[in-house]
Amino acid sequence: MNKIPVAILGATGLVGQRFITLLANHPWFEIAELAASDNSVGKKYGDAAKWQLPFEIPERLAQMTVLPSDPERVQAPLVFSALPTDIAGELEVAFAKRGAIVSSNASPHRMDADVPLVIPEVNPEHLALAETQKKKYASDGYIICNGNCTTIHLALGLAPLHKRFGLKKVLVTSMQALSGAGYPGVASLDIIDNVVPYIGGEEDKVETETVKFLGRLKGNEGNGGSLRSPVSDLAIEYADIRISAHCNRVATRDGHLETVSVEFEGNGVANKPSAGDIIAAFDEFRGLPQELNLPLAPNRPTVYRREKDRPQVKLDRDAEKGMATIIGRLRECNVLDYKFVLLGHNTLRGAAGATVLNAELLYAQGMLNNVGLSAGRIVG
Ligand code: NAP
C-alpha cells in the first residue's frame, strides 16, 4: 500500500520523539522529513535528538539529516507540528499557504475561529471548519489542532457526561508531570521537594479550549452533516459551561492527574444523574475512532476504575497505549454535584498521540485522498 509522506517539525523535542515512535511503523503514513531548530539542522537525527524514550531510534530515522523548519525546504504534504509556541503561529500558516495539511500540537491556532480543535471521539464534526481555511490561504492547505495536554483529558472525561446529561459548572485542579514542560523543562532545584502552583497560560487554556471541544458546530445544518462541507459560514458555539482551573507542576515524569467537581444542568436532585448513571456513561463512551478502528484508537477512550485508590500516575498512565483517560473515585460533592479523579498521559493522548489520531481521522474521512499524489511524492 502507498503511504503518505509526512514531516515532523520539532522532531528532536519530547513531543517530536513521541511522533517518531508513533509514526515509525504506521500503516498509512511514512516519515519522510524531520525538522528542528538551527542547532540541529544538518546533523543526523540520532545525534541531534536528546533521546528520552525507552526504545531505540529506528536506524533509518537516526540516519536522516535534520532539515530547517522552512516550508520551502520541507516538502511533505502532511506535516506534524511540535513547534514551540512562540514560532508555531507564523510557521504553521506558512506551511498551510504552501499547501500542506498541518496537524498541530502547538497552541497558537487552537482558538482561531476557523481552526478545528478536535478530539476525534468528542467533536469530529468540527473538522468541517478546515475547508474555510483553504479559501483564506488560497491553497489546499489548512491547520487542525489538538488541545493542551491537561485539557484533552479533561474534555475526554467530561464529554460522556455533557453529551448524556448536560454540564453547568466544573472545578478542576491539575497535578502535571515534568515532561509537560518539554526538555530540559523545569530546573531540578525548582521542583525536587516542591510543587509549583503556577504554569504560565495553562489555566486559561483549560478553561477556554474545553468549551470549544464541547461546543456545537453551527451553519452546517443543510448538508447532511458531512465532514467535508464546502460551506464557509461555519462557526463553533462554545458549550455553556463555567470552568475554573488550578494548574500545578509536580515531580512526576509523565501523566497529568486532575481532580474534578461537576454540576449538572437541571434543578433538583430528581433531575440529576445517579452515580450508576455516571459510571455507565464513562463505561459506554465510544466515538468515531473506535467505529472506524483507527490504528491509534484506544478500545475504550474513557476507562472507569472501581478500586478506591485509582487511577494512579505510575500504574495507569500507559493504559490503552497511553491513549485513554482513566477515571475513578466518583463520589458526591458537598459543593457541586459529584467529584472524581482523572488521569491521562500528557505526551501520548495529551500531545503526539492526539495529533496522530487527528490525522488518522482525516485519512479515514477521505480528507487526505489526493494528498501528495499530484506531487508524485507518495512513497511505497
Ligand atoms: P521541547 O522538548 O522543548 O522541543 C522543542 C522542539 O522545537 C525541538 O525539536 C526544538 O529543536 C524545536 N525548536 C526550538 N526552537 C526552534 C526554532 N526556532 N525553529 C524550529 N524548531 C525549533 O518541547 P515539547 O515538549 O516537545 O513541546 C513541543 C510543542 O508541543 C510546544 O508547542 C508545546 O507547548 C506543545 N505541547 C507539549 C506537551 C508536552 O506534554 N510536552 C503537551 C502538549 C503540547 P532543537 O532540538 O533543535 O532545539
Mutate to test the pocket of ligand 1, among 37, 151, 186, 205 (most ligand atoms within 8 A of CB): 37
CA-wise closest residue to 354 among 105, 1, 162: 105
127 contacts 365 by C-beta, under 8 angstroms:
yes
Kindly state whether residues 70 and 182 are assigned to the same domain.
no
Distance (Å) of CA 331 to CA 96, 137, 169, 306, 326: 46, 49, 16, 12, 16
* pLDDT at res. 370: 76
Kindly state whether residues 247 and 201 are assigned to the same domain.
yes
Q: Which stretches of the chain drop beneath a pLDDT of 50? A: 222-231, 373-380
Kindly state whether residues 65 and 197 are assigned to the same domain.
no
Domain of 158, in residue numbers: 149-345
Distance between CA 354 and CA 117 in Å, rounded? 11
Question: Does the annotation count 256 as an active-site position?
Answer: yes
| Ligand 1 lined by 17 (C-beta under 6 Å) | no
pLDDT tens digits for 128-159?
Answer: 999 899 989 999 999 999 999 999 999 999 99
> Which string of b and e fits 170-181 if b means at least 16 CB within 10 Å?
bbbebbbbbbbb
* pLDDT at res. 220: 54
Distance between CA 150 and CA 296 in Å, rounded? 19
Kindly state whether residues 178 and 125 are assigned to the same domain.
no
Distance between CA 275 and CA 14 in Å, rounded? 38
Cα 88 to ligand 1 centre (Å): 9
Given 109, 126, 153, 256, which residue is catalytic? Answer: 256
Kindly state whether residues 187 and 298 are assigned to the same domain.
yes
Kindly state whether residues 363 and 335 are assigned to the same domain.
no
Kindly state whether residues 265 and 277 are assigned to the same domain.
yes
The CATH code of the domain that includes 372 is: 3.40.50.720
Kindly state whether residues 254 and 276 are assigned to the same domain.
yes
Within a 13 Å sphere around the CA of 367, how many CA atoms are in the beta-carbon half?
A: 30
Rg (CA), the chain: 20
Kindly state whether residues 243 and 315 are assigned to the same domain.
yes
Kindly state whether residues 282 and 338 are assigned to the same domain.
yes
* pLDDT at res. 376: 38
24 contacts 61 by C-beta, under 8 angstroms:
yes
| Ligand 1 lined by 346 (C-beta under 6 Å) | yes
- Of ligand 1's listed atoms, the one at least distance from the Cα of 10 is 9
* pLDDT at res. 115: 97
Kindly state whether residues 115 and 233 are assigned to the same domain.
no
| Ligand 1 lined by 353 (C-beta under 6 Å) | no
| Ligand 1 lined by 179 (C-beta under 6 Å) | yes
- Of ligand 1's listed atoms, the one at least distance from the Cα of 12 is 9
CA-wise closest residue to 206 among 260, 163, 281: 260
Number of domains in the chain: 2
* pLDDT at res. 225: 43
* pLDDT at res. 222: 47
| Ligand 1 lined by 180 (C-beta under 6 Å) | yes
The CATH code of the domain that includes 288 is: 3.30.360.10
| Ligand 1 lined by 83 (C-beta under 6 Å) | yes
Given 109, 126, 145, 149, which residue is catalytic? Answer: 149
Distance (Å) of CA 120 to CA 18, 153, 340: 19, 13, 23
- Of ligand 1's listed atoms, the one at least distance from the Cα of 69 is 20
* pLDDT at res. 221: 56
pLDDT tens digits for 49-103?
Answer: 999 999 999 999 999 999 999 999 999 999 999 999 999 999 999 999 999 999 9
Kindly state whether residues 327 and 264 are assigned to the same domain.
yes
**Which pTM does this prediction carry?**
0.95
Question: Does the annotation count 149 as an active-site position?
Answer: yes
CA-wise closest residue to 286 among 276, 274, 300: 300
Strand partners, 341: 259, 328
Which residue CA neighbors atom 3 of ligand 1 most closely? 182
Distance (Å) of CA 190 to CA 14, 178, 180, 194, 200: 20, 11, 15, 7, 15
Distance (Å) of CA 44 to CA 13, 15, 34, 197: 14, 18, 10, 39
